[in-house]
Amino acid sequence: MAKRFLSGNEAFAYGVRLARPQVISAYPITPQTIVVEKLSEFVEDGSLKAEFIHVESEHSALSCAMGAASVGARAFTATSSQGLLYMAECLPYAAGGRFPIVMMNANRSTALPWNIYGDQRDSVSQLDSGWIQAYAENAQEALDIALMSFYIAEHRKVSTPFMANLDGFVLTHTYEVADVPSQEQADEFLPPLQTENKMSLAAPKNLAFSAGPDSNTIFKYKEHLGILNAKSIIQEAEIRFEQIFGRHYTGLTESYQTEDADYILITLGSIAGLVREVVDQMRAGGKKVGLLRLRYLRPFPNEEIAAAVKNAKALAVLEKDISFGSEGTVYTNVNSALQKAALSIPNSNYIGGLGGKNISAEEIESIFYELTKQRSTVQFLGIGGEGSGN
Amino acid sequence: MAINAQTLNETEFFYGHKACAGCGGSLAVRIALKVLGENTFAVLPAGCMSAVGFNFPQLCFSNNAIISTFAGTASMLTGIEAGLRAQGVTDFHAVGFAGDGGTADIGLQALSGAIDRNDDILYICYDNEAYMNTGIQKSSLTPFGARTTTTPAGKNIRGNLRPKKNLFEIVAAHGIPYAATASVGYLNDFMRKIEKAKQIKGTKYIHILAPCPTGWGIQTDETIDVAKEVVDCGLWYLAEYENGSFILNHDPKEFTSIEKYLRKQSRFKHLTDKDIQTIQNSRDAKWEYIHRNFK
């Protein structure tokens, strides 16, 4: 292991190198670009043996990755925002084909208006595409997820593509110290890809076929089971990871001071670091508040959320996306989890950080204070509730 | 030894499919796979050949084959080629079979990217001159005058008003190692070109005209005759592009009648004598260009 001063993008690239991908399809888009730049340097200096393909679009980036995966090669690509939307056709295609591709997505706002900064509207809009979705908080977690993602995606019980999300700029471009494991350790953790879901000269197959009304549902059901199976395989991967690398992860969610908390803020991504600080400050002032960070949105942590918040008086969901005409999509999902667990806890939805807008410690603190009023509305941070933005 | 009907591989790689009787496209796929052999990885985008060949559990390729996204034929080929090479597999061919819409319209960007990278793939466009799988809509390879379901022949507009896109020369303009045109009416020529493409490293492109009886309004036993006639009347040509030069493979001394070729197809039934003259003039201009620029 070696400590390095790395941006989130660079840390992720180091993690990808450790996973020894065989095919990398690359197309630039801010703020993802540094990942593929770094990987091209690794290929150039010989520290990574991979076919590095300069595709002409994101649609081709994922199409190329699917081609590589269809013959059993380990494939990686990366994108962001408009690029993710441009390749959108290929997302359910890769998931339905059960191709265990890993893709990094640098979370970025979606046009219009144009904006290159971070929010999560890009990936959250694709929650239904059949991909595992993880959200990293810092550079170390980004690197570790990069390595773990291949293990999880390629596991024969899962066989599902994996989208690792890093908040644009706040995480992708911020430098932190991260441990970079040795290649020997990484090889111990991650075996070479083995799958029967591939075309080969030894056993020719017809893949990516049509399935009519009679057989379609069973394929989709199995796809659903695959991504649900990821729950236990994520746990398995994290136990293996801790045994080899000594770092501990907590599955689909991460609880901070939730055990006795009256008020819990649920969020995801890099903002969790600031929320943790606010929790510490408010705890010092005698307020029983806590943080529940969602590390994965698919598979969705229904049981984990219910278990973590069941004794809370009120909840807030803070997210960097909005499903126009409804509410934040994470909020919708969280409420479904509460409903399924027969938990009736007052809750509010806060939409913040759109287009890279800073979320301050004061705003997070005020969310906790507003929770004591126990109302249930959708609030845009810095603007207000529905109907008040006229 | 040159490949011909007598020496052609008797193994069938594409059979049991549901293509219409007289389908030119399925013939092109069948013959190409026989020349390429069993170590072939075929990519077929959404379109006629994937619609007729990949209906689970009735899967019709005995070699490796996969459906790509409509726009993704070339990029999926790239991934397959790179993925196999990365695993040390060398004895294989990666071939794409896409229709005219899948090639000249929605798939053109990915095709251009693959040629630009000079990926070691063979891309075959089976050109039936419209979106046949969706019910005969105009593509950019639909010829002037043709009636399709989106270019109706009425009082105000008589079919497709735009000429066929010159895809062969667009592909050649990339400086591709090998490109060729072909017709299912001249199968020996097509087989020779596949055989040649097999030996060449880098990107290869073969554009084969493949009549569609359903879309063209011809009898199902006329496919081959019509595919010969389109070459003989000069509305299509057999050529190659190699080492930076165009080579004409077949130079008809005298063209057969354009009118006869057009009138036997219901998609051209509405054409006036003036329309046919327009088509003839454009043919003559094209051949003047060919004689000037092709070897």
Residue appearing with tokens 């908040």: A167
Nearest Cα of chain B lies from the Cα of A235 at a distance, in angstroms, of 30
CB atoms inside a 10 Å sphere around CB A286: 6
A145-157: burial string, b at 16+ Cβ within 10 Å, e else? bbbbbbbbbbbee
Give the pLDDT confidence of B121-168 residue by residue, as tens digits: 999 999 999 999 999 999 999 999 999 999 999 999 999 999 999 999
Mutation target vs B (from A54, A70, A194, A220; most B CBs, 10 A cutoff): A70
Give the pLDDT confidence of B73-120 residue by residue, as tens digits: 999 999 999 999 999 999 999 999 999 999 999 999 999 999 999 999
Tell me whether residues A51 and B87 touch, CB distance under 8 A: no
Q: Mean pLDDT throughout A28-51?
A: 97
Tell me which residue in B43, B89, B110 faces A56 most closely, judged by beta carbons.
B110
Token pair in block for residue A132: 């595992």
With bands split at pLDDT 50, 70 and 90, how would you rate the model's confidence at A385? confident
* Spatial CB neighbours of A48, under 8 Å, sequence gap ≥ 6: A17, A20, A21, A39, A42
Instruction: Kindly state which CATH superfamily the domain A2-245 is placed in.
Output: Thiamin diphosphate (ThDP)-binding fold, Pyr/PP domains (3.40.50.970)
| Ranges A191-195, A269-273, B3-7, B241-245: which has the least confidence | B3-7
**B66 vs A: CB within 8 A:** yes
Token pair in block for residue A240: 């293996």
- pLDDT of res. A374: 63
Q: Output the CA–CA distances (angstroms, integers) from residue A313 to A35, A255, A263, A345, A367, in the order listed.
A: 42, 16, 6, 6, 14
Regarding beta strands B178-183 and B204-209, do their DSSP bridges make them parallel or antiparallel, or are they unpaired?
Answer: parallel
Q: Mean pLDDT throughout A67-83?
A: 98
Residue A389 has pLDDT above 60, yes or no: no
Residue A137 has pLDDT above 60, yes or no: yes
Nearest Cα of chain A lies from the Cα of B96 at a distance, in angstroms, of 12
Residue A376 has pLDDT above 80, yes or no: no
Domain assignments of chain B as residue spans, ordered by start: 24-293
- pLDDT of res. A220: 98
- pLDDT of res. B2: 78
Q: Sort out which chain B residues have CB atoms less than 8 A from A211's CB and list them.
A: 56
Residue appearing with tokens 């009256």: A262
Contact A367, A350 (CB under 8 A): yes
* Spatial CB neighbours of A160, under 8 Å, sequence gap ≥ 6: A95, A98, A100, A130, A131, A132, A153, A223, A226, A227, A230
In chain A, CATH 3.40.50.920 sits at 253-385
CA dihedral A102, A107, A108, A111 (to 10 degrees): 60
Give the pLDDT confidence of B227-266 residue by residue, as tens digits: 999 999 999 999 999 999 999 999 999 999 999 999 999 9
> What is the complex's ipTM, to 2 decimals?
0.96
Fold of the domain spanning A253-385: Rossmann fold (3.40.50)
With bands split at pLDDT 50, 70 and 90, how would you rate the model's confidence at A372? confident
Tell me whether residues B86 and A57 touch, CB distance under 8 A: no
**B82 vs A: CB within 8 A:** yes
Give the pLDDT confidence of A316-371 residue by residue, as tens digits: 999 999 999 999 999 999 999 999 999 999 999 999 999 999 999 999 999 999 99
Nearest Cα of chain B lies from the Cα of A204 at a distance, in angstroms, of 5
Q: Output the CA–CA distances (angstroms, integers) from residue B263 to A376, B150, B154, B259, in the order listed.
A: 72, 20, 17, 6
Tell me whether residues A63 and B63 touch, CB distance under 8 A: no
- pLDDT of res. A390: 43
Tell me which residue in B55, B67, B76 faces A212 most closely, judged by beta carbons.
B55
| Cα gap B230→B127, rounded to integer Å | 13
Peptide bond before A299: cis, by omega within 30 degrees of 0? yes
Q: Sort out which chain A residues have CB atoms less than 8 A from B92's CB and list them.
A: 201
Tell me which residue in B67, B69, B85 faces A51 most closely, judged by beta carbons.
B85
Tell me whether residues B66 and A199 touch, CB distance under 8 A: yes
Tell me which residue in A53, A56, A61 faces B109 most closely, judged by beta carbons.
A56
**B84 vs A: CB within 8 A:** yes
Terminal C-alpha separation, chain B: 25
- pLDDT of res. A387: 55
Contact A237, A152 (CB under 8 A): yes
Q: Sort out which chain A residues have CB atoms less than 8 A from B44's CB and list them.
A: none
Give the pLDDT confidence of B20-45 residue by residue, as tens digits: 999 999 999 999 999 999 999 999 99
In chain A, CATH 3.40.50.970 sits at 2-245
Q: Mean pLDDT throughout B274-280?
A: 97
Token pair in block for residue B104: 């000249």
Contact A200, A71 (CB under 8 A): yes
**A322 vs B: CB within 8 A:** no
Token pair in block for residue B148: 């399709």
Q: Sort out which chain A residues have CB atoms less than 8 A from B38's CB and list them.
A: 204
Residue B1 has pLDDT above 90, yes or no: no
Is B24-293 in CATH node 3.40.50.970?
A: yes
Q: What share of chain B is helix, strand, coil (3-state, %, to 5)?
A: 40, 20, 45
**A218 vs B: CB within 8 A:** no
| Cα gap B133→A227, rounded to integer Å | 33
Q: Output the CA–CA distances (angstroms, integers) from residue A84 to A11, A79, B61, B128, B171, in the order listed.
A: 21, 6, 33, 33, 28
With CA atoms as reference, the chain B residue closest to A215 would be B56
Give the pLDDT confidence of B44-80 residue by residue, as tens digits: 999 999 999 999 999 999 999 999 999 999 999 999 9
A63-96: burial string, b at 16+ Cβ within 10 Å, e else? bbbbbbbbbbbbbbbbbbbbbbbbbbbbbbbbbb
- String of DSSP letters for A164-199: EEEETTTTTT-EEEEEE--HHHHHHHSPPP--SSS-
- Residue B153 dihedral angles phi and psi, to the nearest 5°: -100, 100
Size of interface A-B (CB pairs under 8 A): 155
Enter the pTM of the model: 0.97
